[in-house]
Amino acid sequence: MKRSSAPKPNRDPRSDFYIVFGASGPLLFTPVSTAVQLQRRMKGKCLSPFAHPHGSVEAHCGDPVPQNPMEWGELYFKNLSKQKQIMEKNGNNRKLRVCVATCNRADYSKLAPIMFGIKAEPQFFELDVVVLGSHLIDDYGNTYRMIEQDDFDIHTRLHTIVRGEDEAAMVESVGLALVKLPDVLNRLKPDIVIVHGDRFDALALATSAALMNIRILHIEGGEVSGTIDDSIRHAITKLAHFHVCCTRSAEQHLISMCEDHDCILLAGCPSYDKLLSSKNKDYMSIIRMWIGEDVKPRDYIVALQHPVTTDIKHSIKMFELTLDALISFNKRTLVLFPNIDAGSKEMVRVMRKKGIEHHPNFRAVKHVPFEQFIQLVAHAGCVIGNSSCGVREVGAFGTPVINLGTRQIGRETGENVLHVRDADTQDKILQALHLQFGKQYPCSKIYGDGNAVPRILKFLKSIDLKKPLQKKFCFPPVKENISQDIDHILETQSALAVDLGGTNLRVAIVSMKGEIVKKYTQLNPKTYEDRIELILKMCMEAASEAVNLNCRILGVGISTGGRVNPREGIVLHSTKLIQEWSSVDLRTPISDALHLPVWVDNDGNCAALAERKFGHGKGVENFVTLITGTGIGGGIIHQHELIHGSSFCAAELGHIVVSLEGPECLCGSHGCIEAYASGIALQREAKKLHDEDLLLVGGMSVKTEETISAVHLIQAAKLGNAKAESILRTAGTALGLGVVNILHTMNPSLVILSGVLAGHYINIVKDVIRRQALFSAETVDVVVSNLADPALLGAASLVLDYSTRRIY
């Protein structure tokens, strides 16, 4: 690095400055002392004395770039003078002394970009760095070293962690920090303390600063996750004087919490400044270093799971199931050790018990430098766990994420995140891995646009230290009926629901409330080509009409007869009622045509989903739905989740055999419920009676061209036809015996009869249960569905449940 060679008889201090160049010109005017530090950090690549490219490049302060090198000094001091005038106007005629306290590897990734920005402007700021918490513990990687590697001077190291990794140890750690922090803050006398996030260490820091009358800037306030972290985060919010939030929703939450809007900055997440500018062409060397020599991009998993302090036992069990699923999935996996919250010690024991540290497919590490961690998650086939980085930072790369449990369930997420809310079985986690691994989603910028740090620095410069320290809360005026119903906000969010029946093909626009806004009906074509063409035509017409109806279509849900693979959106085998409908991929053509996500499931399963979201099954943990229509179908909800079975044929309730010598069913067997109680079965019996002139009674007539159906049988029974009554009673008894079998197998608390025949069967079914069921199952509730169109509502619920919050 060379000094200016311009001859000066007397040394002019204004000549001791350098201009730092970026890709598009001069970006920073800085004194020599700072330039030396910058050159050290930037490895000399962007530093040039008095040099500038020729052309129309503008300086940072907005003035044209001068062609005479001697004018650079004037421009620098002109720019510096403007900034000082701004600071003096705001009451800051001296440097702002900023204390940044970092507690762990996670918060440092958010604070480091701000620290670099503060350090790069020494004419405005003095930076003091305090390190505490798990940074200083060997078991968690001694991560304070990365702060030193970033060339920051650590003013104070505070050992504040009481080991034990349980609830009591967390409380004791907060107490120890509260004992040690006052002395540090007394010595530093900062104008402002920057606190990040929702860790218990940060709560101790905020409490100390607030009680010592030191201003607090809180990063990432207003967010919602789903555990005790929420309480800590909001407690820090109430202590903090200034707030930097990352999303519009977080900003609104802060305003709702009565924080002063003038003290809130919507800046975005500081880590996104790093994420969105990180382009490492040599990412393969990072993958090889951390995962293995033979691993390819998108062919490995990054796992990062922490204990949930409000339910430690369950979170440890969930971690054990996660590791079992990852072992079964058989992909190379980088596992990061959990944080220091209560329960982490038990999670590490689980890792060692399963031999993860010595397993050939796994690499277990305590810490990965943030720059390298970025590259690892950016090129991973999947990220799994419950860390906030999964739902926040990873979205910037579109990498698939599986979020386990409730620790982050309240976070705003991109479409790359799949929530496994109740991760209570290995199979459920394994299925989520099969769904997500290797996909590539659109990149998400929910949490930032890469320009957070400049906004934060400008915000810091605007702080008026002469203003009273006591914060004020902005309580809203108390009025009646000022609350807004969330359903009203969401009602324009809608789904396209498709119902493929044996006779009709129906498409409807269904709102979030379950209201059918508009419905289209056509006869179901007999051939595959005509059927697909008609589905696409009707869906496109409905999607176009939805715009005029002020409905935002979130996706397409399809209810169809037969055996369906909902993961792939494929009809595996159809019923005989729908021809040319086996091995049919429904998802791809419809999604390609409409540019919307598509979900497909069996009509019985859809009926159960409709009841869970809109009907009698809402809030019920275990229930069964039986559809009584042309055929007999059903769906099973167990622990709030739909049961599909290992080969997607669970809940084929119409084919429960209730008699070995019964009539033949369409499935080829004999004595199925469907062979007795379906509309087809009743039509068959009605035709027999009609052929024998035993159907019609007084008050009935049938036209010559009219087809005999189940309706005629029911009408005859109502008018006193004893044989028709006997057939209906037999059908209802067969259905009742099937329900008794279901009760003894699944033990649901509720049975819902749906379809056109439900009202005719319910009393008979209840009577059979009283006579045939075990005493412990007799108390089950049996009700008739109150939903007008369960097939369409169930198809809609496929979309509304999955797309509004990605829950699997």
Tokens, residue 213 = 């009358």
- pLDDT bracket for residue 384 (50, 70, 90): very high
Task: Please tell me the number of Cα atoms within 13 Å of 84 on its side-chain side.
Answer: 11
* Mean pLDDT (the chain, rounded): 84
Rounded CA-CA distance 249/255 in Å is: 10
Contact 635, 624 (CB under 8 A): yes
pLDDT at 100 > cutoff 90: yes
Considering only 280-289, 453-462, 620-629, 707-716, which range has the smallest mean pLDDT?
Answer: 280-289
Residues 342-377 have pLDDT tens digits of 888 899 999 999 999 999 999 999 888 888 898 999
How many other β-carbons are positioned within 10 Å of the β-carbon of residue 596?
18
| CB-based contacts of 241, cutoff 8 Å, min separation 6 | 215, 216, 217, 263, 469, 471
Where helices occur in 120-166 by DSSP H, the ranges are: 144-149
Residues 158-211 have pLDDT tens digits of 999 898 778 888 899 999 999 999 999 999 999 999 999 888 899 999 999 999
Contact 524, 503 (CB under 8 A): yes
Look at the alpha carbons of 485, 490, 496, 497 in this order and tell me if their dihedral is positive or negative: negative
Rounded CA-CA distance 200/206 in Å is: 10
pLDDT value, residue 431: 92
Rounded CA-CA distance 486/635 in Å is: 29
- pLDDT bracket for residue 574 (50, 70, 90): confident
Contact 115, 106 (CB under 8 A): no
pTM of the prediction? 0.49
pLDDT value, residue 444: 82
Quick one: average pLDDT of 586-598? 90
List the catalytic residues.
Answer: 603
pLDDT value, residue 31: 44
Please report, rounded to a whole number, the percentage of residues in the chain having pLDDT higher than 90: 54
Tokens, residue 122 = 């020494």
Quick one: average pLDDT of 467-482? 73
Tokens, residue 765 = 């079914």
- pLDDT bracket for residue 279 (50, 70, 90): low
Residues 18-37 have pLDDT tens digits of 444 443 344 444 444 444 44
Contact 275, 224 (CB under 8 A): no
Nearest partner of 264 among 217, 203, 209, judged by Cα = 217
Residues 761-789 have pLDDT tens digits of 999 999 999 999 999 898 899 999 999 89
pLDDT at 619 > cutoff 50: yes
- pLDDT bracket for residue 47 (50, 70, 90): very low
259: phi then psi, degrees, rounded to nearest 5: -80, 150
First-last CA distance in the chain? 58
pLDDT at 488 > cutoff 80: no
pLDDT value, residue 515: 92
Quick one: average pLDDT of 209-234? 91
pLDDT value, residue 473: 86
